[in-house]
Structure 1
């Protein structure tokens, strides 16, 4: 049996402030999000459907288009990477047996639509098209995300695509980030039929965490993109346990964990993250790191509980980071009011603080804050998202009715500050003294 204790024989390592007395992780890569397992487990049904989407490409036939949906961490991206990897390897082996004229040519372009956002934190078909062009061009010949008419960018994209041959598979991860601008989603899967390309066949796979995005697509886009729809259901606790056991066997030393470790991590991920394998794997990794930091030879329940708290903190910060600028300004205003002891606060008080935040952060551009009604629309969304609580006051006919707002239990000024830093925004202290109801 492999010992869970790492024996340090290098004196430099012993003296290092970065070394732990105990090491429980023997292969950290297995616990990373970009790791592609040798086998996808607990996904037999969807893998069978999904494999059928890739079969025509292997056979040199026109590709199918597909739309994948399901919650975060249910295997959509992992399954896509797994099948892509196997498809490319099998085509390579197949081509070795065929004459050049019969060989299958495949180019895969993977785009995460989340990475192509504009200054107002939105993504568009235009920006994604720019991303596709730059995937196909050398570094010195890439185009910028501004300065081109949309049709010019699409023309450049199709010109670059048509320089290739065979099949081009465009994978649009987080495709729902494109929002209402679905021009690309209609044209790209039909580009050969429309006549935009002649030398290649283009297939498109859209991956989304938001099924409502599919429902809101126009009928013409549904016909193009949603040729095959595959739903990835959430994992149950037992399936999460199987996945974690497989990862732990490869990532951790034998004595670093027990079956109880796997069971607790699985149960917490199932309860708190709707059956997300990503959350379960993160929880296992963080638990091992905490155990190492504490000099423990095995992951214990207290390490898992602490890891769960750490991850929950990070998830809230990530959720705040994802908000648009106006909602970030409102959260910053609430943070300053909270630190000044002025929450819960009425809408007009929050608007006054919000206005100071907006003018401070936009002094050079002169951007003005939204009206109180406009700001309230964003504030209502923050309530719906669970960042802010609303307290209703009703004093009857004589006393009147009004609302006050404060952070929910999951949010505090520190998390808002961390979110600003993650967005590379400087945290400027705003004086909210003198703001009264």
Structure 2
């Protein structure tokens, strides 16, 4: 069957290599990051020379090259060590083991990650599939003992890369012990280096002094890209990913400007925008990515970003948002705090009937509702009718949030969307 016979084919093809626009693509050259790459390379040099590794802490907003630079240097380090080992005596060969953990992947039901869960993840990275341990049922010290036993069975240097390390929060046991594991006596046969990567500027500030001393031996800040740097990065990606006549300078400039304005100079957002724009242009039968395609792509991505942000909220906040979604659909917003609490209580009782856990008090719910206001999901209106009329708050979705986005977030969160009729709710 030819492409012409398929319902999945487009009349035009603008993308020649989509993998270049994937998030996990590691370019052969990291652009616009010479300053931090020099610093970062110095962190890995001792490993290449067979010396004790350094610990490092990387921080900066999402999409500014922290993970890409780490992958790039990791691949180069592994390749250079392999070449070096081909030409030196056995006793001078360098042994390197890498363990990459994304701490966000080890969150529990309440959206929190602990040192315990990350230690379980490290164990399971080092074990065969049939010999892995579960995230429950072990005492914390037992898990740490198993982790150090697995690490100590390796040779040479072990680099543990903790991506999104800020997800660990206040439970910093692992961040203190792991970089000092040889000094403490937990391992003897290896030397452990730890690379912490964080999107949260404040996480570093809130680390305890003992953890800072262990983890932050070298600190590297990744600043946001400016519009010109985003253009350089996009042009390099477009050159490899798109056909030559599929884009022009206006394509690059507009994608870069939107990513700079709306996503704090995120290269990830710019690359996503370029890819989605190309897909929309293909769907519309255009042989060139034009500004309307880019604007539509920007709207699509913004919708998806809101959904992802909602998914990241804990269950109580999700239930409040669901309550507001039903109130909104029934034309009952803006709604007073009492009405929101009544709707929220019905949602909780619907979803938690089997567990027996009831809704929070109105005060407890209001604390979560205030966080949703701070995050930009909810808009609160202060009403004041004077001495005789009283004061109260009313709540509604912000301009960026819709009931459909909340529904999409529930489904992405593997929660069934149960329809509810809240038209009979009163203040």
Instruction: Compute the TM-score of the two structures, normalised by the length of structure 2.
Output: 0.99
Q: Answer yes or no: is the 8 Å Cα contact 2:332–2:423 preserved in 1.
A: no
Structure 1 residue 248 corresponds to structure 2 residue 238:
yes
2: distance between equivalents of 1:329 and 1:13?
46
Structure 1 residue 260 corresponds to structure 2 residue 250:
yes
1: distance between equivalents of 2:416 and 2:2?
38
Matched with 1:273 is 263
Q: Helix, strand or coil: the match of 1:147?
A: coil
Counting only pairs closer than 5 Å after superposition, residues 24-423 of structure 1 correspond to structure 2 as: 24-423=14-413
Post-superposition CA distance 1:366-396 (Å, at most 9, x none)? 1111111111011000000000000111111
What is the CA-CA distance between 1:281 and the residue it aligns to? 0.3
Give the RMSD, CA atoms, in angstroms. 0.6
Post-superposition CA distance 1:213-253 (Å, at most 9, x none)? 11111100000001100000000000000000000000000
Post-superposition CA distance 1:15-34 (Å, at most 9, x none)? 00000010000000000000
2: distance between equivalents of 1:434 and 1:318?
31
Query: Which shows bigger deviation, 265-274 or 362-371?
Result: 362-371
1: distance between equivalents of 2:358 and 2:143?
32
Q: Helix, strand or coil: the match of 2:158?
A: strand
Paired positions, count: 427
What is the CA-CA distance between 1:100 and the residue it aligns to? 1.2
Matched with 1:3 is none
Q: Helix, strand or coil: the match of 2:24?
A: coil
1: distance between equivalents of 2:113 and 2:266?
26
Q: Helix, strand or coil: the match of 1:143?
A: coil
1: distance between equivalents of 2:420 and 2:148?
49
Q: Answer yes or no: is the 8 Å Cα contact 2:166–2:203 preserved in 1.
A: yes
Query: Which shows bigger deviation, 11-20 or 28-37?
Result: 11-20
2: distance between equivalents of 1:433 and 1:148?
48
Q: Answer yes or no: is the 8 Å Cα contact 2:110–2:315 preserved in 1.
A: yes
Structure 2: any 5+ residue segments left out of the alignment? Answer: none
2: distance between equivalents of 1:429 and 1:260?
45
Q: Helix, strand or coil: the match of 1:55?
A: helix
What is the CA-CA distance between 1:359 and the residue it aligns to? 1.2
Report runs of 4+ in structure 1 exceeding 2 Å deviation. none
What is the CA-CA distance between 1:398 and the residue it aligns to? 1.1
Matched with 1:5 is none
Post-superposition CA distance 1:66-93 (Å, at most 9, x none)? 0000001000000000000000000000
2: distance between equivalents of 1:262 and 1:415?
29
Post-superposition CA distance 1:382-435 (Å, at most 9, x none)? 000000000111111111111100000000100000001111111011232321
